[in-house]
Each structure stands twice: as structure tokens, then as C-alpha cells.
Structure 1
Amino acid sequence: MEPPTILTNKTFDWLKHRGLCSSTTVDALRDMGYSQLTTIQYHSMPKLLTKQNVFLHARTGSGKTLAFLIPAVERLKAMNFHSAHGVGVLIVSPTRELALQTASVLSPLIKAHALSSATLVGGTKLQESLIKEGAVIVVATLGKLLEALGDSSSSYALPVHKLRILILDEADRILDDGAHTQSLRKIVSKLPLDKVQKVLVSATQSTNCTKLSREIFDAEFTIISVEQEQKVSTKHIKQNYIKVMAEDRLALLITVIRTLKNKKIIVFFNSSHSVKFHYQICLKMGLDVIHSVGQNNQEKRCKAYIKFCKLKQGALLTTGLAERGWDIPGVQWIVQYDPPHKPQDYIHRVGRTGRGEGNVGQAVLFLRPEEEEFVSILKGMNVEIDLLEFQGRVEEIKSQVQDLVKDTELNQSAQLAYKKFVRAYQCHNLRKIFNIKNLDLSKLCISFGFSVPPMELGHLS
């Protein structure tokens, strides 16, 4: 299967010869393994370098991060911006993992130009990060940035009086008209926006996101969208679905993870409690797994993320936390054990594999026979997905799981995971397909290690 190309025939040397990129940057990019411009980089960099407010849209893995980092670094160098001026560029991320990932891509560029930077996420101390040497580029999560900006009573606040560029990465997640957006409004109120270039970056487009961006920033944006790439964003990924009875789900998942033991895979669930329970079961079954959920503290999440990035094989069990923004190298398989609440989230999940030029990936979706209509929705979104016949020794595994769940701690974890799964199913966005009335709890409970439903869930409708 040939993946669609994301590269143009233009090199970074071509950009240098046009006076849009310095030799120092080109040399650093070459050391990082980059020589050709991607489509989004080719279309966006000239406009970003001329200080325009820009909204970038392109699929995951298309080179958006460098598309905004390179112009930001070049502009700072052209202005002879240094630490005494304070912060020149703010890059705002909706998650800690994305902030760390962006900082890792930025690191070789700032090192080459002898610029300073800081990464502000939960667990970092502002004084240690910024007071010693200062930072002209700051990558931060919303909450930590709001803390760093301080208020009138703060003894220390991030020096942003000469800020020149504000970048929102995964802007559609920040402009969600919820808690993220409220934090952004508070941040914006503390910034000298009239002097600042605004850059919004996203893999998807939405009318609400565009409307909010205009309202919050009181500005118009030049929209740069790679539409054709967006439509074929998963065609280089071989996608299948497995029809599995409710009582066989866990046993078949264990079989799949065992079959893919020499691969690097991500398994998606719809609740953190399900992740915890299945992680415990997999460990008991001798499987090589790690897990990460939003409820974990900063240290645990960072350790899990960094560890999985370095792994050549193994499985990460996670929630929607990892749907977007995570650029983990070498992921070969995506397993969607719980179907997502939104069809668009299916696209984001499978987009964690087959990333970058020339790479392909594989993905499999678990569906009960009653849920197969979801496939029609995906095909309506130009997703090429086929039925996969997959067999395993499910009865033997189901018996093993029931024995394990007799353990008090695991039993409690299983009960909570079961309850949260049913409640999440009850609230599914696609209720005509994922209908709680068609969910046989007497069979479903077997995939949580019980022979009968473990608790009264009240009225289900």
C-alpha cells in the first residue's frame, strides 16, 4: 500500500535562496533529517514570515509543527531578540504531552541559534525555568501559562510585554467553547495582543472554532488548508474491523495483543477506569503493556509517554487523551477496543499510525454485531475499512480472567470499569447505533470477569 506523499519538490535550500530561511536553520534541519518542504510548510512559511495572522489546517503527520516553529525562530533572529527582552514567542498546547513533544522538536533549532526556551507544564517551577537565564520562546499548557502570567499581587510573572508571536497548537481543542476556551480568554487578557502575530494550528476545521478565534482575538485570519491531503489522510492505513460478541470482547483483545506482541500498538478505550482494569488484567496475563490516562498525575503521564516513545514494541492502553497531537514514532497498529463517540475521533485515533512520509500503518476496530452500522458511517467519510475474520481461544482466556477477578482489588477495579463502560455507552453520541437497549448486560459482564452483572445500574434507557 503506497501512502500519499506529503512532500513537495522544494527543499529548505530553496527556501534559503529566497531569503526566507537562514543557513543555520537549514543546517539544523539537515541534522534532524529534513531536507524537503511538506505541502503545509510550502504554503504557510512565506505568510508566517510576513507577520500575517494565519490559521493552518492540515492532517496529522504533515509537518505542521516545523511549519510554525521555523518562521518563529527566524523572526526572533531577524529582530535580534534576546532574553533581556522577555518572552518573544508563546506556544500554547492543550496537553502536557503535546507541549513536551513540541519542545523536543524545537530544541535543535534553538540550540543552533543559541536562543533560550522554557517548557511550562504541570510539575515545573517557574523560577527555575525562567529566572536563571530567561526564555525567548516558551511552550506551555493553558493552566501553567495562566499561573505563570500571574496577577497584580504576584511577586513574579512571565515577562510578555514585548511578545511578538502567539501560537495555539491543536487550536480546535483549545477553542472548544469549554474550560480550555475560558482559560484562553484569561490568558489573552494579559497579553499585548495589538503587537502580536496570532498563529492557530489544527488538523481539523470547524465553524465554531473559526467563530471563537475571531471573537477572542478580534482579528481576521488567513486560512491555509491542505484540503486534498485531509480527504486521504487514512488511505495509507490498512483498516479493518472485527465483529465480536459482547462476552468475547476481552478474550479477543488479549488474543490480539498477544498476536501483535512484537509490534508497537496503541489500544483506545472510552474511560480511564476501563484502561486501569484492562491494564491490570494484561499484566496478570503476562503482556507487555503500559497505560496513560488524563487522571494520572503529571509525573506518571510524562513517564508513560516518554517510555512508550522509546519502545520498539509493546502496547499503550489509553483514552482519548492520545487521540490527537501525540507524534509517537514507530506506532504500527491502532486497536480501537471501544468505538469512539464521534466518527471524527476514529480518524484522529488511526492517525497515530502511518505518520510521516513513506510510512504505512494498520488499524482494527472492535464492534458488536449490533454496532456494524458504524462501518457505513465511516465509509461515508471515505474511510476504506473491511471486515477481518479473527479467531482466538476465547473460552480458555475467559476462564482465566474470571479466576483473576476473584482477587478483591481487581474485582473492585472490574466493577468500576463495568459500570463506567455501561454509563458511557448510555451517553454515546450515536445512540441509534450504540443503543443501550441492545446491550445484553448478562453477556457484557463476562468481558469484565463476571458470570452475572456485578451491580445494579438503575434505569437504563
Structure 2
Amino acid sequence: MAGLSILTNRTFEWLQEKGLCSPATVAALIALGFQRLTTIQLHTLPRLLSESSTFIHARTGSGKTLAFLIPTIERLKAMGFKKSHGVGALIISPTRELAQQIALVLQPLAEAHGFSSQTLTGGTKLKDEDLKEGNVLVVGTPGRLTDALTGCNKTHLLVSSLRILILDEADRLLDNGSHTQQLRTIYSALPQEKVQKILVSATVTPGCTQLAKEIFETKFSFIGVEEKASSTTAQVKQNYISVSTSERTSMLVTVLQTLRKKKVIVFFNSCHSVKFHSQVLSHFKLPVLHCMGQEKQRRRSNIYAKFLALERGILLTTAMAERGWDIPGVHWIIQYDPPHKPEGYIHRVGRTGRGEGHVGRALLFLRPEENHFVEVLKNMNVEIVRLEFQGDLKDVQNKVSSLVAENVEIKQIARLAFKKFVRAYQCHDRKIFNIHTLDINEVSRAFGFMKPPVELGRLK
């Protein structure tokens, strides 16, 4: 099930022959293990080298990072950019993990031309010494960059000569939330002329493109690859399973018991659900790790590194991991909770089957009342097939109920998880997920209770 190849027959040496890439960059790429260009790279490089502001749209795992890093390096080198000029290129990422992954690819390419680079992400208080001078390329998250550009630090980033601004996962940065407000602040601190804007995303919404035009007051050229094909790679076989609300936890246990020798990422919509299911799955002797946005950066980084190194294991996480996490060898993606927006499904599935020749599996849990979501996905050119389950979940369900009843600590976690699950459900697209179809008594049984453990108040 190799699916359509993402690689072209063009090598990076061919780019050099055509004068589109310097020998130093090609040598660095080959040392990193890259030989041939992907389709999006072949389409993108000439356009970005022409200095036009561009919106790049291509599915996850298609090589978008190099598609914008290579021309960025080449342009800065061609214009004779030096460290005394300050920051030449600013790359903004919505998450710390994605920023760090971009930096890992960027560093050897930058060093091949004598450029220095820096990564600015949150987690600790910004200090004057964090803003090192002489970094031609800077990668950062919106909050930290806002502090660095507008805060009260004695030393600010020198951006008066900025030439390239890149927004990775642009649809998330332009979702009209806190990231968008920070982006407006950042952009107001940057020079408004002679700056090439590059927006990159696997999904594009009308609201995103409208905000981009409004904030940057720029007309973007658009590069999209295989727009009529599947939004997700053919290297991932995708299924959904219809599960009654009360049997969701016991179904998850049963599925993961069959996948204990695989490398699996499971997505939830709340941190408390992650904590609860981590306790339950550990009780069933499953090899579980968990990582959430509310945790301290050091623990997040440690868990990420640990799971990265594993050949098999289960990681429970939230939407924080649905974009940018490039973890090799992930066999299965399980979406226990459907994402708040359909685009999130695309990004989550993109955590498996990444790169040439790699295959993966994806499984989506849906309540019978949520099956309309399948039609929504199919309208987005997602090929997804129903998976039938034949078996008895009563024994597992009884064990979960006993665990909650007998363990005071787990009961407290379950109580909070129940409440947060219902509240998170109200954040879904209401055209697809109607809170009034949610049977609260069945939800309580999924968390090991016979009746709702807390008062929820009025559900809107």
C-alpha cells in the first residue's frame, strides 16, 4: 500500500545545475539524507526564489518544511545578508515542538552558509541574554516572539532589515484566536516594505485567507498540490468505528490491547480525559505515556523524546500534537475524540505514513449520532471506511467501573474528565456534533459511573 509517490525524479543536483540551489545547500541536504525533491518542493522553489509572497498548500508529510527553508537560505545568501544586518528571516510556528523540529532542519542548512540561527519558544521567562545578536534566522512561537519584539527587555530582536516572514501552519496562526492577535502585534513591529511573506499549511479555510489579506495587506500567489486528490496521503488506510457512548472506554481498551506491539498515538479533546484514560490503560498493563499542553515544557520535551525513541508504545495526547510532530514509525493514529473542526482530522492522520514508502493506519471513534462526520470527511476527499467490531465489551466495562469505584484518586480524575468531556463537546462544530444528542447518563458510564457524578448546569 505504498500509494502515490510524493517524490519526483528531480534530484537536488538538478536544482544546482539549473542555478536554483547553491553547492553548499545541496551538500548539506545530501548529508541530511535527502536526494530527490518532493512535488511541492519542485513547484515551490522557483516561485519563492522570485521573491513573491506565496501561500503554500500541501498535505502533511509532503516536504513543506524544506520547500520554504531552501529558498529562504538561498535568497539571504544571494543578497549578501550578514549577521550585522540582524534578522533576515523570521519563521513563526504555533507550537514549541514544531518550532524545534523546524530548527533541527534549519540549523545545518544555515551553518553551510555561515549563518547562525536561534529558536525562541515559551516555557520560561524571557531574559535579555536569550536575545542573542547576530542570528540571521529566527524560529519562534507567537507568544515568545511578541515578548521579544515588544517587551521591556533591554535588547530586542533587530528586525529592521527583515526580508522574509514565514508562517508555518498558517491556518492555526490565523484562526482569529490568541495566535492571531499576537501575530498582529508581531507584524506591527516588523518593517512593512521589502518583506516576502510565505504562508504554509496542510489545510486552508476561507477565514484564514481573508485574515491573511487583512493583516498583511498583501496579494498572495497560491501553490497547491493534488488539490483534487485525497487530503490525506494514500499511504494511510483510514477507518472509523461506530461505538455507543457508554462503551467508548471499554472499546479503547480492547483496541489497544490488540495493538500493544505497535507504536500508537491516541487523541483526546481534554487534558483530564488524557489523565483518566492513562490511569485506566495502565491498570490493564498497557505501555502508556501521556503528554499535554498544560504540562511544563521540560516534561513535554522528555515525553516527546522518549516516545520518539520507542519502537512500540502508546502516547495519549491532545490537539497540541496534531500538527508538526514528526515522529518516525508511528503505526496507528486513533482519534478517540473527534476534533473540534474537520481540518483537525487531516492534521492528526498526518502523524503516520509520513515520508516516502511509509505506511500507516488511522481509526476514528464515532458515536452513532456522529456518523454524519463521515460524509463531511468524504466531501473533503478523505477515503474512510467503516470498521465492524464483533465481540463482548461487558467484562472490560465492569473492570473499568470497579476501578473507578474502588480507587479514590481515579474516581476524582474520572469526575473531572467527565465534566471536561461534556464541556469540550460544546466546542465542536454544532452542525456535526449536537450537544443535545449526548446522553449524559451514557457518558457517565463511559467514565465508570452509574449516574452523572457532578452537576453540569445548563448545556447550550
CA distance in 2, matches of 1:209, 1:341: 16
1:386, distance to aligned residue in structure 2 (A): 2.0
CA distance in 2, matches of 1:38, 1:349: 21
Partner SS state of residue 193, structure 1: coil
CA distance in 2, matches of 1:226, 1:43: 8
Are the aligned partners of 2:88 and 2:162 in contact in 1 as well (CA < 8 Å)? yes
Q: Counterpart amino acid of 2:10? A: K
Alignment deviations for residues 410-440 of structure 1 (CA, whole Å, 9 cap, x no partner): 1111001111112233443245x53444333
1:15 aligns with 2:25: no
1:68 aligns with 2:68: yes
| Structure 2 unaligned blocks of 5 or more | none
1:232, distance to aligned residue in structure 2 (A): 4.9
Are the aligned partners of 2:229 and 2:381 in contact in 1 as well (CA < 8 Å)? no
Are the aligned partners of 1:268 and 1:338 in contact in 2 as well (CA < 8 Å)? yes
CA distance in 2, matches of 1:129, 1:230: 44
CA distance in 2, matches of 1:128, 1:230: 48
Are the aligned partners of 1:270 and 1:421 in contact in 2 as well (CA < 8 Å)? yes
Q: Counterpart amino acid of 1:36? A: R
Over 3 Å counting, the alpha-carbon distance change for 1:119 and 1:351 in structure 2 is same
Are the aligned partners of 1:58 and 1:229 in contact in 2 as well (CA < 8 Å)? no
1:107 aligns with 2:107: yes
1:325, distance to aligned residue in structure 2 (A): 2.4
Alignment deviations for residues 383-428 of structure 1 (CA, whole Å, 9 cap, x no partner): 2222223355633322322232232221111001111112233443
Aligned to 1:246: 245
**Identical-residue share of aligned pairs (%):** 59
Over 3 Å counting, the alpha-carbon distance change for 1:390 and 1:300 in structure 2 is same
Aligned to 2:449: 450
Aligned to 1:344: 343
CA distance in 1, matches of 2:201, 2:315: 24
| Structure 1 unaligned blocks of 5 or more | none
Over 3 Å counting, the alpha-carbon distance change for 1:287 and 1:347 in structure 2 is same
Aligned to 1:313: 312
Aligned to 1:265: 264
Partner SS state of residue 9, structure 1: strand
1:126, distance to aligned residue in structure 2 (A): 4.8
| 1:151-230 pair list within 5 angstroms | 151=151, 154-228=153-227
CA distance in 2, matches of 1:104, 1:84: 24
1:367, distance to aligned residue in structure 2 (A): 1.9
1:170, distance to aligned residue in structure 2 (A): 0.8
Over 3 Å counting, the alpha-carbon distance change for 1:446 and 1:88 in structure 2 is same
Aligned to 1:293: 292
CA distance in 1, matches of 2:396, 2:413: 19
Are the aligned partners of 1:120 and 1:145 in contact in 2 as well (CA < 8 Å)? yes
1:335 aligns with 2:329: no
Alignment deviations for residues 219-263 of structure 1 (CA, whole Å, 9 cap, x no partner): 222211114375352433211122222222111111212211111
1:215, distance to aligned residue in structure 2 (A): 2.0
- Return the TM-score normalized by structure 1: 0.93
Aligned to 2:281: 282
Aligned to 1:82: 82
CA distance in 1, matches of 2:380, 2:187: 36
Q: CA RMSD in A?
A: 2.1
- Return the TM-score normalized by structure 2: 0.93
1:206, distance to aligned residue in structure 2 (A): 2.2
Over 3 Å counting, the alpha-carbon distance change for 1:369 and 1:359 in structure 2 is same
Over 3 Å counting, the alpha-carbon distance change for 1:177 and 1:442 in structure 2 is closer
CA distance in 2, matches of 1:184, 1:373: 35
Over 3 Å counting, the alpha-carbon distance change for 1:116 and 1:277 in structure 2 is same
